[in-house]
Chain A
Amino acid sequence: MTLPRRVPLSAALRYQGGGPMWAWILHRVSGLGMILFIASHVLAGFGIQQLGGDWAIWYNTIYESLYFQLFIYFCVIFHAVNGLRIIILDAWPALIKFQREFIWLEWAIVLPIYGLTAWIMIQRSLGG
């Protein structure tokens, strides 16, 4: 059981946690995004292969769109790199002292990987 937290939304929005707070929020959002995508992708794949359902083919068209791919690729890359940061900080708690530096390092890894791929994806989709 977790502790009940009775924090009003207005107070939550005023909280200034900085980098680690945003990493926590994005980790959560990207994790939920991936569950939604992967679980339904597995089920739609099963649907196409075994049941031949039109709903599964319709579902495929959603994640073939560029916007969805840009979203889910960000989820995967961010969640992976942020997860590695969490593993490292959990394994060597002394490093917590440098957690802000870890956030910068994390973005320095995520942004080039994501940006390069996103750039190619957008360019390809514009070029046809």
Chain B
Amino acid sequence: MKPRKVPTPGWNFEYLMWLFTRISGAAMVLLALIGFVGALVMGARYHMDLGTLLRWTFFPNPNHVLNSDIPDIAPWANAYWQIMQLALVFFGATHGFNGLRLVLEEYIHSWGWHMFLRLVLMVLWLITLGAGFFLVLTS
């Protein structure tokens, strides 16, 4: 039996994505905690129901608190929370599509299909990033 080829250890694509997955995962937990605290500071205890609190926690977009009793959302629709949202969109989409790639590649064993899959996922990733960034910057 021929030994399989193992990629050389070092700064290759798989290692970088492995590292990115861990760093972005921890970063998203941190971003959710920041969103949670932000919602409480905004007055979640008196002006929001649970669903609204969670929507702001996981994605601090002003559209997510439209149905709450917060008197004025304008002070919260600022650049700080926009940067939080952009970071979430970027980390989330990249972490997610890379995870999808890993799962799919475990069940597909041909090089050609891998490359086709990567192309399709890359396009979907870019579309999601584009739509997400556009939404954040215009809402």
Known contacts A1-B111, A35-B97: A46-B135 contact under CB 8 Å: yes
Question: How many B residues, CB 8 Å from partner?
Answer: 36
**Interface: B29 (CB within 8 A):** yes
> For B70, what are the chain A residues with a Cβ–Cβ distance below 8 Å?
none
**Interface: A94 (CB within 8 A):** no
**Interface: A43 (CB within 8 A):** yes
Q: Mark B69-81, 1 if CB is under 8 A from A, else 0.
A: 0000000000000
Residue in contact with A2 in the complex, picked from B22, B54, B58, B106, CB distance below 8 Å: B106
**Interface: B51 (CB within 8 A):** yes
> For B41, what are the chain A residues with a Cβ–Cβ distance below 8 Å?
none
Interface of B is mostly: helix
Residue in contact with B22 in the complex, picked from A39, A42, A76, A90, CB distance below 8 Å: A90
Residue in contact with A46 in the complex, picked from B26, B93, B124, B134, CB distance below 8 Å: B134
> For B114, what are the chain A residues with a Cβ–Cβ distance below 8 Å?
1
Interface of A is mostly: helix
- Closest Cβ neighbor of B57 among chain A residues: A76
Known contacts A2-B105, A32-B100, A121-B50: A39-B128 contact under CB 8 Å: yes
> For B119, what are the chain A residues with a Cβ–Cβ distance below 8 Å?
none
**Interface: A96 (CB within 8 A):** no
For window 6-49 of B, CB contacts with A under 8 Å fall at 22, 25-26, 28-29, 32, 49
Alpha-carbon distance between A79 and B54 when the two chains are bound, in angstroms? 16
Q: Is the CB of B54 within 8 A of A73?
A: yes
Known contacts A32-B103, A87-B25: A124-B50 contact under CB 8 Å: yes
Q: Is the CB of A34 within 8 A of B96?
A: yes
- Closest Cβ neighbor of A82 among chain B residues: B25
- Measured CB to CB, the residues of A under 8 A from B are 1-5, 28, 31-32, 34-35, 38-39, 42-43, 45-46, 49-50, 69, 73, 76, 80, 83-84, 86-87, 90-91, 117, 120-121, 124
- Measured CB to CB, the residues of B under 8 A from A are 4-5, 22, 25-26, 28-29, 32, 49-51, 54, 58, 63, 89, 92-93, 96-97, 99-100, 103, 105-106, 109, 111, 114, 124, 127-128, 131-132, 134-135, 138-139
24 contacts between A and B (CB under 8 A): A1-B5, A1-B105, A2-B109, A3-B4, A28-B103, A35-B100, A39-B96, A39-B124, A39-B128, A42-B89, A42-B135, A43-B127, A43-B131, A46-B132, A46-B134, A49-B139, A69-B51, A76-B58, A83-B25, A83-B29, A84-B29, A87-B22, A117-B54, A121-B51
